[in-house]
């Protein structure tokens, strides 16, 4: 099916085209019967007529979804869980992330220079865990708005001396809406005024009932400052991952999301990607957002050049023609020409969408049509 015109919409709503055109006018848009209308306008007009339309995300994701091949159970392999840390301001999210990275990554690393790529991987008990860094929150929100989930597990950080606060509740609602398991990290346990029981009590009001109180939520007391409880926290993440059995197929072309991207003076467009399925290789042709690119080089979270990145791996990619947005999906195409075509189509669609909002026809045109 092609783009929808005013006439199509009228048919769908079982209304006269003139009625729809009038409605559009009252909403400030002059349109003719053959004019294409964008998704937002379709929803708006339908609502005005008391109809609910279900708009599929045709604009952005369709090209990818059509091309994604189904994985058979045999092709699916275990992949690391992708974890996001959320919580109220100053409850210790950044300190906790730093502590985890410090104890698990920098130790024994040659050079020890950790690259900021919006995400990083640590290893515990010979298993990997991918953490999305706090700036990843922007991407997290965008992706949620688009219905694409990146996170497998949410770590809810609550400071034991401060208790549940508005942003704690917000984070709970985020995680619940995304149907993502929550592990509670009761932080700042080293503080004399730490009161973990109060945190448990308060969270019970949000249906997060600790296991030792007969519920199902895992609570781990930690101190991001002393490092106490960090190992237990990582173990609990792996436990949840084992139960949930996160899987992906490493033996196909990669698909995933843009975590962050920017224009670097020396290196051009730099995109930090999270591979969600398949394996990304240097030399691959990919589309990210509406931009085409050939992976010229890849750098992992330790600043090392790598040739490939398998599922749940975050990497920095050089070689895109422009800077995509955080939350944009990306996909590799075996056919470079096809990748270029799709990127062009997406740019065109984006442009049309932008134009659609401002394009006006004259009254003359309108009357000719009716």
Question: Which residues are annotated as part of the binding site for GTP?
Answer: 87-94, 133-137, 187-190
At 351, list the tokens: 């442009």
CA-to-CA separations, 149 to 76, 154, 244, in angstroms, rounded? 19, 12, 15
* 157 backbone dihedrals φ, ψ, rounded to 5°: -90, 125
| Residue ranges in 132-171 that form contacts with Mg ion under rule CB under 5 A | 134
In the complex, minimum distance from the CB of residue 299 to ligand GTP, in angstroms, rounded to a whole number:
25
**How many residues are listed for the chain in this entry?**
370
**Residue 187 partner contact from ligand GTP, Mg ion, none using kind-dependent CB cut-offs of 5 to 8 Å:** ligand GTP
CA atoms within 13 A on the CB side of 71: 16
Note whether 224 binds ligand GTP by CB under 6 A: yes
Show contacts with Mg ion in window 57-116 (CB under 5 A): 93-94
**Cα four-point dihedral sign 246, 252, 254, 256:** negative
Does residue 5 touch Mg ion according to CB under 5 A? Answer: no
Residue ranges in 84-103 that form contacts with ligand GTP under rule CB under 6 A:
87, 89-95
- From ligand GTP, Mg ion, none, interface partner of 205 (C-beta below 5 to 8 A by class): none
Q: How far apart are CA 177 and CA 149, in angstroms?
A: 10
Contact 236/183 with Cβ under 8 angstroms? yes
Check residue 90 and report its DSSP letter: T
Using CB atoms, what's the residue nearest to Mg ion?
94
3-state secondary structure of 194: coil
Binding-site annotation: residue ranges: 87-94, 133-137, 187-190
Nearer to ligand GTP by C-beta: 222 or 318? 222
Is residue 187 involved in binding ligand GTP (CB under 6 A)? Answer: yes
Rounded distance between C-alpha atoms, residue 272 and residue 295, angstroms: 12
349 binding ligand GTP? (CB under 6 A): no
Task: Give the residues lining the site for ligand GTP (CB under 6 A).
Answer: 87, 89-95, 134, 187-188, 190-191, 223-225
Task: Give the residues lining the site for Mg ion (CB under 5 A).
Answer: 93-94, 134
């Amino acid at each position: 099916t092609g783009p929808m015109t005013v006439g199509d919409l009228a048919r769908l709503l079982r209304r006269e085209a003139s009625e729809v055109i009038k409605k559009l006018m009252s909403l400030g848009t002059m349109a003719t019967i053959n004019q294409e209308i964008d998704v937002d306008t379709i929803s708006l007009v339908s609502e005005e007529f008391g109809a609910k339309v279900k708009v599929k995300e045709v604009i952005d994701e369709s090209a990818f979804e059509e091309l994604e091949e189904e994985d058979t159970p045999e092709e699916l392999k275990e992949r690391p869980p992708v974890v996001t840390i959320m919580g109220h301001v100053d409850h210790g999210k950044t300190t906790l992330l730093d502590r985890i990275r410090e104890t698990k990554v920098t130790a024994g690393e040659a050079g020890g220079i950790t690259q900021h790529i919006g995400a990083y991987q640590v290893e515990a008990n010979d298993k990997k865990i991918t953490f999305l860094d706090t700036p990843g929150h922007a991407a997290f929100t965008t992706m949620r708005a688009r219905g694409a989930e990146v996170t497998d597990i949410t770590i809810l950080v609550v400071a034991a001396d401060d208790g549940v606060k508005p942003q704690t509740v917000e984070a709970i609602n985020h995680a619940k809406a995304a149907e993502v398991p929550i592990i509670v990290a009761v932080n700042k346990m080293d503080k004399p005024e730490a009161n973990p029981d109060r945190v448990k009590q308060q969270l019970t009001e949000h249906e997060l009932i600790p296991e030792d109180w007969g519920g199902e939520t895992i609570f781990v007391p930690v101190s991001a400052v002393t490092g106490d409880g960090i190992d237990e926290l990582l173990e609990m993440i792996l436990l949840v991952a084992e139960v949930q059995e996160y899987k992906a197929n490493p033996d196909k072309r990669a698909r995933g999301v843009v975590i962050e991207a920017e224009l670097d003076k020396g290196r051009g467009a730099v995109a930090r990607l999270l591979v969600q399925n398949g394996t990304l290789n240097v030399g691959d042709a990919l589309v990210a957002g509406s931009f085409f690119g050939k992976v010229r080089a890849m750098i992992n979270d330790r600043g090392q050049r790598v040739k490939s990145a398998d599922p749940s791996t975050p990497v920095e990619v050089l070689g895109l023609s422009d800077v995509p947005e955080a939350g944009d999906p990306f996909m590799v195409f075996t056919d470079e020409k096809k990748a270029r075509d799709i990127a062009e189509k997406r740019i065109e669609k984006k442009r049309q969408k932008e134009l659609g909002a401002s394009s006006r026809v004259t009254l003359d045109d309108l009357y000719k049509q009716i």
